[in-house]
Structure 1
Amino acid sequence: MVTKMRKGRAVVVSSVLLVACGGSSEPSPPAGESSDGSGDSGSSSTSTTGELPPADDTTGTTGVEADVTYHEHLRPLLERSCVGCHQPGNIGPFSMTSYDEVHPLREAIVLAVEEGTMPPWHADSDCREYVGDPSLSPEEIALVRAWVDEGAVEGDPAAYVPPDVTSPSSLSRVDLSLALPEPYEPQLAPDDYRCFLLDWPHEELTYVSGFAAQPDQLHMVHHIIAFAIAPEQVAEYQALDDAEPGAGYTCFGGPGGEIDPTDPTSVGNWLGSWAPGGFAGDFPEGTGIPVEPGSKVVVQVHYNTAVGNLQPDQSAVAFKIDAEVERPAVMLLWADPSWITGGMPIPAGEASVVHSFELDPTLFINFITDVIPQGQPFQIYSAAHHMHTLGVRAQQTIERSDGSQTCLLGVPRWDFNWQQAYRFAQPEVFEPGDHLRLACEWDNAAGDATVNWGDGTSDEMCLGIFYATAL
């Protein structure tokens, strides 16, 4: 069944202030308990310890007895879990597409897989099953060790069997590519947030069903976010663009427009994002984010200018587009509104600071989007998390109205340089009366000042990002 035309809306980080209650000053209980022990609705934001599950230990191997060769054993494993990044033109710092490339790296490879730093997969496997998990099993780690210990033999190419790679890291097709109108050289320090207003060429309702960012200067691009701007808001954003010379205009936290509490369309609809470690890909089959004719796209690029070696950048974004979908979707952004106004302090000298927030979004979903009816259940297909460099761990859960808990995403070892969305093997249903809970932990032991929510790399955030549709 194809859903008739509906105008999608989403709040960005800065506009979550409009739609949720403030945080409680009460200390937050452990996950799954309410602050009064009853499970009643409410939110909480705390600085505590012990609220998140302990960090995992991914080290260790098991013994294996095998005549291990590159082509028969290592090559399929590497192609499944490593080559997606480690190939020319991708994020990996070196290529691993052939025996001649892999052999000199053998000691580094076995060390990385035994320590659990590679392949990078930061979701807790005990939380739930995800699509495309590249993690190596203990037996596979032992296989890598055996190959190295036995002399890293190449073997017979005829013994190679291609792996089953079920999670492509690129769009199945590119229907539209939009580049920055001209190269832009960052000017502000230590961070330069620049928004670029781009034309949306389609003259009928369409649905974005896949997204890819194409960062030009990888060393200084911190993130890229694409927003759809509704036709009635285009003039406001055009004025912002016209007011500043050169390409684009300065923006922070969102696409830059004025936020009207009575009009949720005053903020852009999040279409897709990229941060270091992120991948491109199609959205779940049969779903897509609606974009109206007459819309424009704002591409926000965050440049971390503290890295030096600044170069003109002309990044781009690419979309897979469908004329109709079975279920219109929305990127649901989740954070405590009080955090954004200074309510997320991370004191200097503190090695473990935790803030958490929970609430039932179905109570105010009409302020976020109209693709999900207010007071109705919805489906969550994927989860992503965003913090900055002080982040240690994060947890996203559904606290059920019956007192049970469903884990959506656990990140036991946060890595700012490797951020991605994790698609669920099966969508998760959120029911009215449940709470969507987010908890983050930071380490500011080495800091000399309190850190709070902010857009800069040296500031912090705690943001959950969910891809959702009506049930």
Structure 2
Amino acid sequence: MDGRARGAREGRGKTLRARVCLRLLERRLLRDLAGDAKSPRRGGVCALRGWLGRLVPRDGGQGDEAARADRGRVGRGGSLARQAEGAREDAEANALAPPGDRSPPRRTRDDGRAGREGARFLERPLTFSFYETRRAGVCCGMRTCSLLAIPLSMGLFAVLAAACGGGGGAGTSGEIPPDATIPVLDPTCGVEVIVSQTPTYAEDVAPILMKNCANCHVEGGIAPFPLLTFEQASPLAGLIADRTTAREMPPFNPNNCGHCNKFQDARWLTTKEIATISAWAEGGAPPGDLAKAPPPPEPPKGLTDTNLTIDTGVTYTPDGSKIDDYRCFVVDPGIPTDKFLTAYEVLPGDPRVVHHVIAFALDTAEAEAQAEALDAAEPGPGYTCYGGSGVSASRFVVGWAPGGGPTRYPAGTGLRLPGGRKMVVQVHYNLAGGAFPDQTRIATVVADSVDKEASIQRVAANGINLPPGQPMTAVTNEETIPAQIPEVTVWGVAPHMHGAGKTMYVENELDGQKQCLVEVSNWDFHWQSFSMYETPPKVKGGSTTRITCGYDTTGRDTVTTQGEGTEDEMCIAFFYITL
């Protein structure tokens, strides 16, 4: 390859990475600015957006920028299903239009909040501080530092510590602590990727979709549309590119870049896979040789050694007046003596509506009575619940989200299920596609004994008291692991916040040496699950732990406090550990 060709290729690669960064910056701007179409300052963000656009042409300098700037956009409150429908309408219009009048695939950006219809709407003054950072995992795919836009009201953030400890003490809440780390979304994981040629669906994109998306995006699945063929995927190329670029899809809350651990079976695209999808969409979503496209994957293989089924025992039809219905069921597992849970597989009654499942053990008679009282207080099967079981003394033992197969806890370990006690099974029903009857079951493997009894330990910041109208506010807490504990192996983690949650950072420190346990930069309450580490970290007695959770309270006009309600918040990391 001669120098000119190499330079052109590298230029296209840098342009692609810069466009990704600009899109992320634009998203962050829009998320931080409340919508007000009448604001006299709305031109400020347009001017800033235009200035950013002049730094790197939005078409990479290889096409008609005016045409590309005229892409259809979908309102920020729109659902995936509506966005997909809009993209299909574009595709149908293109099929009837002369080649010169066809528009590129629709690109969408949706942060899930109604009333944020684009950059021209602005409520607050544009007061931004641009700063440089060299922290690994923040540099947006560049080998040198990136510019990140942060409102001055948020301050500048330095690295902190947080980790695995006891039950969670009262933390500082509201103002962002000066030593708090607020993770910044970096979809590139600090890796530079150059896509030199336009990818095709068959050879390049289909393998990514089949591996990472097809378990949910299938007919009859929880996803709002299937993605198993070129005909299904190509009209949605722009939507797929935007959602994967923002790491909103595939859904996975913990950062899996590697600078803060890596996780087994992570629903996580590599930087190259994201760049490939983006380049495919930018290039017009060409099909390639469809005969070479891989077939849809086989469903995950189930457990073959189950010996106990936890069954809700009832058929429940979710409340169709809601988009999301959270229902808790009191279940008797039928074990007269203590057993140890070593593996489980969630079996949704109707995959079209079952979005996630969490099971809780009840260790005391008081906890069992509390759950039964909640059940008896509501008509119909089960009772309404949101952030958890609604029972103060319940213990997390199972976590599942769509796309996840069976879970087997580390060999020789297991969680105790108390004999003669009932459990609570929480099912989150997503009703975007309709309300259908469901009876979900959990097939499990239980043992009479294990080599090492595991426990779920929580690190939490309590005393949450978040001021309203803040694009970023935080709560933090630190604790010390008792010095008499020699060493703890941390096998897995399940972060937990509610709807206002945005970020979480948990780190352990001993004698000035810090290790990150989990980092979340793009929290989505609806996609909670338990994630097991590829290499389990170890923490020692006497070490200090800290958890910091960041929240966005824009759109709220009252103080957000701690609790299990829809408008309440939490800051918890659940860890699967053994001594």
**Displacement of 1:425 after TM fit?**
1.2
CA contact (8 A) 2:222 2:354 kept: no
CA offsets, 1:137-187, max 9 Å, x none? 343334334545275224264585999x9xx97753454433323234678
When the two structures are superposed, what TM-score results if normalisation uses the length of structure 1?
Answer: 0.71
Structure with max Cα Rg: 2
Matches within 5 A, 1:398-417: 398=508, 400-417=509-526
CA distance in 2, matches of 1:85, 1:219: 9
Q: Does 1:79 align with 2:210?
A: yes
Picking from 35, 50, 58, the partner of 2:187 is 58
Picking from 268, 292, 309, the partner of 1:177 is 309
Matches within 5 A, 1:362-401: 362=482, 375-398=485-508, 400-401=509-510
**Displacement of 1:52 after TM fit?**
1.9
SS of residue matched to 1:112 = helix
CA distance in 1, matches of 2:514, 2:495: 19
CA contact (8 A) 1:32 1:404 kept: no
Residue 473 (structure 2) aligns with: 353
**Displacement of 1:217 after TM fit?**
7.8
Letter in 2 for 1:117: E
**Displacement of 1:106 after TM fit?**
2.9
CA contact (8 A) 1:351 1:444 kept: yes
- CA 1:156/1:32 → structure 2, altered by over 3 Å: closer, same or farther? closer
CA contact (8 A) 1:56 1:412 kept: yes
**Displacement of 1:433 after TM fit?**
0.7
Residue 108 (structure 1) aligns with: 239
Tell me, which stretches of 5 or more residues in structure 1 are unaligned?
1-27, 35-40, 260-266, 364-373
Residue 42 (structure 2) aligns with: none
- CA 1:42/1:432 → structure 2, altered by over 3 Å: closer, same or farther? farther
CA distance in 2, matches of 1:421, 1:68: 34
Percent pairwise identity: 31
- When the two structures are aligned, how many residues end up with a matched partner? 409
**Displacement of 1:357 after TM fit?**
1.0
Of residues 239-248 and 89-98 in structure 1, the stretch that sits farther from structure 2 once superposed is: 239-248
- CA 1:144/1:325 → structure 2, altered by over 3 Å: closer, same or farther? same
Of residues 460-469 and 190-199 in structure 1, the stretch that sits farther from structure 2 once superposed is: 190-199
| Structure with the largest fraction of helix | 2
CA distance in 2, matches of 1:215, 1:121: 20
- CA 1:278/1:335 → structure 2, altered by over 3 Å: closer, same or farther? farther
SS of residue matched to 2:225 = coil
- CA 1:179/1:144 → structure 2, altered by over 3 Å: closer, same or farther? same
Picking from 273, 279, 285, the partner of 1:140 is 273
Residue 416 (structure 2) aligns with: 290
CA contact (8 A) 2:506 2:546 kept: yes
Q: Does 1:47 align with 2:144?
A: no
Letter in 1 for 2:214: V
Letter in 1 for 2:455: V
Matches within 5 A, 1:121-140: 121-124=252-255, 125=257, 126-140=259-273
CA distance in 1, matches of 2:327, 2:233: 39
- CA 1:129/1:218 → structure 2, altered by over 3 Å: closer, same or farther? same
**Displacement of 1:102 after TM fit?**
2.6
CA offsets, 1:10-68, max 9 Å, x none? xxxxxxxxxxxxxxxxxx9962399xxxxxx9974243336224412337984433574
SS of residue matched to 2:222 = coil
Greater RCO, 1 or 2 (C-alpha within 8 Å, sep 6+): 1
- CA 1:219/1:434 → structure 2, altered by over 3 Å: closer, same or farther? farther
CA contact (8 A) 2:161 2:506 kept: no
Letter in 2 for 1:104: P
CA contact (8 A) 1:171 1:210 kept: no
**Displacement of 1:411 after TM fit?**
0.8
Letter in 1 for 2:414: G
Q: Does 1:270 align with 2:396?
A: yes
CA contact (8 A) 2:500 2:552 kept: yes
When the two structures are superposed, what TM-score results if normalisation uses the length of structure 2?
Answer: 0.59
